[in-house]
Structure 1
Amino acid sequence: MNELWRSLGLEGKRAIIIHHDDLGLTHAQEQAYERLGLPTGSVMVPGPWAPRPRQGDLGVHVTLTSEWPAPRLRPLTGGASLRDAAGYLPATLEAAWRQLDPGEAAAEMRAQLEAALALGIDVTHLDTHMGAVLRPDLAAAYHSLAVEHRLPALLPDEASYEMLPEPFRQDLVALCERSPLPRLRIVDGYHIPPAERKAWYCDTLSRLGPGVYHLIHHAAVPTDEGRALADWEGRQADLEALQDPDVRRVLAEFVLITYRDVRDALRRVM
């Protein structure tokens, strides 16, 4: 895909997509998206705030799990394997990978994409909540959906291969290596302690060499609703870091691009 980056004038440069995960989940996420003014994110279509009108560079955050006590998320389709005993999406990756039927999961992914389009979202990409599509048969369906719609899809990059679940690694690497879709280098500070988050942004981003990067963040405003999520302190830390002048100066050293840029370049060659 070097020719795609060349077509965007990015060869030899440091380019970054700043990606807001979990839009549609809470109003706190939506408020942070508006405050930051950074266009790229992805929407959890089963989330209660998914229908909220918003402008930007938006994808579908393919959602096959419901990890929080509230809000709990239900699938859009009727497959029995998509549900726990209470009718919600499974709470953990392990439960999802144990029970999901590949055909039912593929139908749910398609329904989430079609629902986003019906909401008027000009879908620019796909990515995945909690990495739930990494079971190889689910990954194949996710990849096929992206190729069918000529959409970039977040896939593991070479630096992430060693972190892939061992039983899945060989098949996933093979899928990634033969994919016609561009891959970005993933930068994710989710597990960095909140008090260290700003320093992590500055230090990590400053050390990156030439390449095209997907920077994941989960910024949310610390309202009562936002604090209902167990990881709210990290979400607040992302919001504060991405508003901080020092972090903004480091980000200004990159070429800021969007998935719309990548999607449109991809569609010129696919």
Structure 2
Amino acid sequence: MAGVRLVVQGDDFGMCHAVNVGTVQAFREGIVTQVSTMAACPWFTEAAALAREFGIPLGVHQTLTCEWDFLRWRPLTSGASLVGPDGTFLRTVADAQAAVTHEDAVRELSAQVEKFTAEGLTIGYLDVHMGASVPSAYDEVSAAVGKPFIYSPVEAQRFGSISTLSDQTDKKAWVLEYLDKLTPGVHLLVTHCAAAQPELGALHRPGSDTYRWAEEYRLSDQEIVLDPAIRQAIEDRGIELTTVQEAF
């Protein structure tokens, strides 16, 4: 499998302490190569300190939404279109697409970049939390920062995410098959890692739309990226682990 390069990304760094702890472990002991970091979130300062300590390659996980019931974060700026009645970000991409203006989005995403760089962190790339709410704003901020918006250079057919596989799918088997099918070029595999801490179960109401994202998906992703058999499969297939910054 000569010429196959794989970026393994951990999302939502800075969201909460459990995600920070799990993501650091996934980078240091597992196969995660780069980490998307949320500057608007309450645990960003800890994430920044951990990134500096362990030399973690980072991207800005641009966020215009907040999906949780009990963990709610606010914009860094005052754009009225960014928030719901409680003053926090809107809950869904669809809500944000319907409400957020280009101007408010650019101002907010630029502030997130500024907060990121104020911590002395190097930006390797930019991407988006949950989904693209205002595509024109991501393009403008990416051009201003001079860093790639990650979903542009990595072709769609080379993108994989292990977090939302169906209940009937064996996650480990899926990843092994995914690795088998990789072709020469740069591929992106997205994960959402977290340590098994009570904090995760407190993010949501039981049965809410996002409850499986809070704990179940993250803990199973953590298990996969730390699995020695997955790393061995990568080595056996001659796949090079890399980052977007190194690859483009």
Cα separation, 2, equivalents of 1:31 and 1:193: 26
Name stretches of at least 5 consecutive residues in structure 2 with no aligned partner.
204-210
Say whether the 8 Å CA contact 2:33–2:241 is kept in structure 1.
Answer: no
1:61-140 superposed matches below 5 A: 61-133=61-133, 138-140=134-136
1:116-265 superposed matches below 5 A: 116-133=116-133, 138-155=134-151, 159=156, 185-193=158-166, 196-229=170-203, 230=211, 231=213, 232-252=215-235, 253-262=238-247
Give per-residue Cα distances to partners, 1:58-100, cap 9 Å, x unaligned: 1110000000113111100000000100001000111111110
Choose from 31, 34, 42 the match for 2:24.
Answer: 34
Say whether the 8 Å CA contact 1:198–1:237 is kept in structure 2.
Answer: no
Give per-residue Cα distances to partners, 1:202-235, cap 9 Å, x unaligned: 1112211112011100011121012334221111
Return the offset for 1:145: 1.6
Name stretches of at least 5 consecutive residues in structure 1 with no aligned partner.
1-9, 161-184
1:13-32 superposed matches below 5 A: 13-32=3-22
Return the offset for 1:158: 5.1
- TM-score, normalised relative to structure 2: 0.84
Match of 2:206 in 1: none
AA in 2 matched with 1:26: C
Instruction: Give aligned-pair identity as a percent.
Output: 32
Give per-residue Cα distances to partners, 1:34-73, cap 9 Å, x unaligned: 2121341011111111011022101110000000113111
Cα separation, 2, equivalents of 1:228 and 1:206: 37
AA in 1 matched with 2:244: Y
Return the offset for 1:193: 3.9
Cα separation, 2, equivalents of 1:69 and 1:119: 29
Bigger relative contact order, structure 1 or 2 (CA pairs below 8 A, ≥6 apart)? 2
RMSD in angstroms over aligned alpha carbons?
Answer: 1.9
- TM-score, normalised relative to structure 1: 0.78
Runs of 4+ in 1 over 6 A off after TM superposition: none
AA in 2 matched with 1:93: V
Say whether the 8 Å CA contact 2:33–2:242 is kept in structure 1.
Answer: no
